[in-house]
Amino acid sequence: MTFDLAASLRRIKPDKWRGQLTPRPLHVLLAAAQATPDQARRLLLDTNVYIHLAAGSLPLDAQTLVEHGVAYHSSVCIGELAAGIANADPSLPSWRFLRDFYQAQITSFPVSRILTPDAAIWAEASLIAGTLARCQNWQRHQRKEALNDALIFLTAAKAGIPVLTADREDFDLIEQVAPGGRFIYF
């Protein structure tokens, strides 16, 4: 598959963004508590949703959305979860639970609901991550996290579904640079 970098540059406009972006007020963003069933009929779950599920700390509003909506999953999130398993200390008593929990979660994902970024999404996510890293004065690790979040956001946007996330500020900044997608925060 080929992609048009010039078109991605026109869409994202990294040269337009010169100063630091500020998160928007909460009342202009969509919180899980305010999401209607129609807005959350289909959701792409961010990695932090699985982490909150494993910890038993997913807020009730978000849990209700997950239970009543159709959950889609990102190959990027699967990669982040796999890296988390491998990075955890296997000598800890909780490691087996962590491994088994995420293995069961990932195995249960219907293949038809796993979304994977294509070449164009990779290019645009990279432009977003670089733009935000420059404008926000982010460190190297923050740029990599922004790339993953932008991949998740743009993949969901291409599918026409919102991302459910606890990462309100970063997804807000991504949405400001790349309007067209949506997210619901908890």
Residue pLDDT, tens place only, 99-115: 999 999 999 999 999 99
**Is position 122 within any domain?**
yes
**Is position 104 within any domain?**
no
Read off the pLDDT of residues 38-64 as tens digits, 9 standing for 90 and up: 999 999 999 999 999 999 999 999 999
**Residue 12, domain extent:** 5-17+24-70+116-185
Strand order in the sheet with 183-185: 30-31, 183-185, 163-165, 42-45, 70-74, 114-115
**Is position 61 within any domain?**
yes
- Residue 109 CA to residue 93 CA, distance in Å, equals 26
Q: What is the DSSP letter of 25?
A: P
Q: How many domains does the chain have?
A: 1
**Is position 93 within any domain?**
no
**Is position 107 within any domain?**
no
**Is position 83 within any domain?**
no
Provide the 10 A C-beta neighbour count for residue 183: 25
Tens-digit pLDDT profile for the chain (186 aa)? 578 999 999 999 999 999 999 999 999 999 999 999 999 999 999 999 999 999 999 999 999 999 999 999 999 999 999 999 999 999 999 999 999 999 999 999 999 999 999 999 999 999 999 999 999 999 999 999 999 999 999 999 999 999 999 999 999 999 999 989 999 999
**Is position 87 within any domain?**
no
